[in-house]
């Protein structure tokens, strides 16, 4: 069976690495040939190659070199180049991950050629159509044959849109491939990462200093000067009392420069994006995480680090409902209040995992193999 896997953005390299590993461990007789296609959506060394070097993921078979651009142009270029690859390779299945423009282009390219699409991380919804990711998710789910959901909630979201198991589709709650990944790489990160020492966050007796970790990259936050300023003001105030470490996404760096907001970052320790193993160590040892990232919200939950989400809504509702994640939006005072309340009341203990048993990737591969 031939599978074409389409990836292009940082979180997709991490997710695809889990499934690649599962294929290697389950498919002993080499029945599956996986062809890896990189759209080129992310291309800086620290957004791209570092993940291929660090994770178990081979060099892509095709690199489409699409790069950055407006949504229409970027997605259209991907679609054109993906179609050419799919026509040449003629796979049995195309796998796409998450909700980026690479996801949508991959799903559309495959569906138009009548190749079954497997969407990993299906069924997520913010119900906010202002987000480009929401458009990508909805369209990809509707184009897909295999819908691999990370949670029960995601299955229910699909049901509301009439996407039901058995009606010409296969819908399964398999768990989250990012959870598989964190379980696998946590100990490896402990051994290999030197980030805490490099940033002077560990002391000589190897205990860790106190710090907060921040990531921001959502277009609705970065591409609006008022919203970006409001968030940075809060972080800068917090930075007067706490060490705030902020591995900065290139989009956010660009917009801080464009809007001349550098002065709002004087108390924040801005660093380049970090590798996955370094990120896991930074997350694990942080006192608090403030983020608008989807993946980082979940990692905070799995690592039992309290999280404040700098958005009005989240797709990962379980993290909020279980009391481990506070939705603070982008208002300066509200963010500062959320940090105070997180410190004051702490976070509730939770009993349920919600995201599967760490074997999502293996379940996906088994399903794909059994049905072909």
H/E run at residue 20: helix 10-26
Please state, in angstroms and rounded to a whole number, the distance separating the CA atoms of residues 45 and 237.
Answer: 32
What the block records as the tokens of 218 is: 């959502």
| Residue of 37, 120, 234, 296 interacting with ligand UDP (CB under 6 A) | 296
Residue 299 interacts, among ligand UD1, ligand UDP, none and using kind-specific CB cut-offs from 5 to 8 Å, with ligand UDP
**Closest CB to ligand UD1 among residues 47, 111:** 47
Residue 350 interacts, among ligand UD1, ligand UDP, none and using kind-specific CB cut-offs from 5 to 8 Å, with none
Give the count of residues interacting with ligand UDP (CB under 6 A): 16
Please list, in sequence order, all residues whose beta carbon lies within 8 angstroms of the beta carbon of residue 15, skipping any fewer than 6 positions away: 7, 97, 98, 120, 121, 177, 178, 181
Name residues contacting ligand UD1, limited to 214-273 (CB under 6 A): 217, 250-251, 254
**Closest CB to ligand UDP among residues 36, 50:** 50
Q: Considering only 108-116, 221-229, 267-275, 362-370, which stretch makes contact with ligand UDP by CB under 6 A?
A: 267-275
| Residue of 8, 175, 294, 356 interacting with ligand UDP (CB under 6 A) | 294
* Tokens 């991950």 sit on residue: 97
Q: How far is the CB of 10 from ligand UD1 (least distance, A)?
A: 4
| Residue of 239, 273, 306, 356 interacting with ligand UDP (CB under 6 A) | 273
Characterize the bridge pairing of strands 325-327 and 307-309: parallel
Give the count of residues interacting with ligand UD1 (CB under 6 A): 19
Residue 246: phi and psi, rounded to 5, are -135, 95
**Closest CB to ligand UD1 among residues 62, 347:** 62
Sheet holding 325-327, edge to edge: 269-271, 244-247, 212-215, 288-291, 307-309, 325-327
Active site residue 142: no
- Cα angle vertex 327, ends 202, 139, to 5°? 110
Q: Considering only 36-44, 147-155, 172-180, 181-189, which stretch makes contact with ligand UD1 by CB under 6 A?
A: 36-44
| Residue of 5, 6, 11, 288 interacting with ligand UD1 (CB under 6 A) | 11
Name residues contacting ligand UDP, limited to 202-261 (CB under 6 A): 215, 217, 247
**Closest CB to ligand UDP among residues 85, 300:** 300
DSSP string across 221-232: HHS-HHHHHHHH
DSSP string across 171-222: EEE---HHHHHHHHHHHHHHHH--HHHHTT-B-TTS-B---EEEE---HHHH
Q: How far is the CB of 126 from ligand UD1 (least distance, A)?
A: 11
* The one catalytic residue among 42, 153, 217, 249: 217
Please state, in angstroms and rounded to a whole number, the distance separating the CA atoms of residues 357 and 371.
Answer: 22
Residue 285: phi and psi, rounded to 5, are -100, 5
Residues lying near ligand UD1 in the complex (CB under 6 A) are found at 9-11, 41-44, 47-48, 68, 99-101, 132-133, 217, 250-251, 254
For the annotated catalytic residues, the residue numbers are 217
Residues that bind ligand UDP (CB under 6 A): 10-11, 14, 215, 217, 247, 273-276, 279, 293-296, 299
């Amino acid at each position: 069976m031939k599978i074409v896997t389409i990836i292009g953005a940082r979180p997709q390299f991490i997710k695809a690495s889990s499934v690649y590993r599962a294929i290697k461990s389950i498919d002993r007789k080499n029945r599956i040939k996986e062809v890896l296609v990189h759209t080129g959506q992310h291309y800086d060394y620290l957004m791209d190659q570092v993940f291929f070097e660090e994770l178990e993921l081979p060099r892509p078979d095709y690199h489409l070199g699409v790069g950055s651009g407006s949504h229409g142009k970027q997605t259209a270029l991907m679609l054109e180049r993906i179609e050419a690859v799919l026509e040449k390779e003629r796979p049995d299945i195309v796998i796409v991950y998450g909700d980026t423009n690479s996801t949508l282009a991959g799903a559309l390219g495959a569906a138009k050629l009548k190749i079954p699409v497997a969407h990993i991380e299906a069924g997520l919804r913010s119900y906010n159509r202002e987000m480009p990711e929401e458009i990508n998710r909805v369209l990809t789910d509707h184009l897909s044959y295999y819908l691999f959901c990370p949670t029960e909630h995601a299955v229910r979201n699909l049901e509301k849109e009439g996407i039901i198991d058995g009606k010409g589709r296969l819908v399964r709650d398999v768990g989250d491939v990012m959870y598989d990944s964190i379980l696998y790489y946590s100990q490896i990160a402990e051994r290999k990462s030197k980030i805490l020492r490099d940033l002077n966050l560990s002391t000589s007796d190897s205990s860790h200093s106190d710090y907060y970790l921040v990531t921001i990259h959502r277009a609705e936050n970065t591409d609006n000067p008022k919203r970006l300023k409001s968030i940075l003001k809060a972080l800068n105030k917090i930075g007067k009392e706490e060490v705030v470490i902020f591995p900065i996404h290139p989009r956010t760096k660009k917009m801080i420069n464009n809007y001349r907001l550098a002065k709002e970052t004087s108390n924040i320790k801005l660093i380049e994006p970090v590798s996955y193993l370094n990120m896991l160590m930074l997350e694990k040892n942080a006192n608090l995480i403030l983020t608008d990232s989807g993946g980082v919200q979940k990692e905070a939950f799995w690592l039992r680090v309290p999280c404040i989400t700098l958005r009005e809504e989240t797709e990962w509702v379980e993290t909020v409902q279980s009391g481990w994640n506070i939705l603070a939006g982008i208002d300066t005072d509200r963010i500062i209040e959320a940090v105070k309340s997180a410190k004051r009341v702490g976070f509730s203990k939770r009993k349920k995992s919600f995201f599967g048993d760490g074997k999502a990737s293996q379940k996906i591969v088994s399903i794909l193999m059994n049905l072909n």
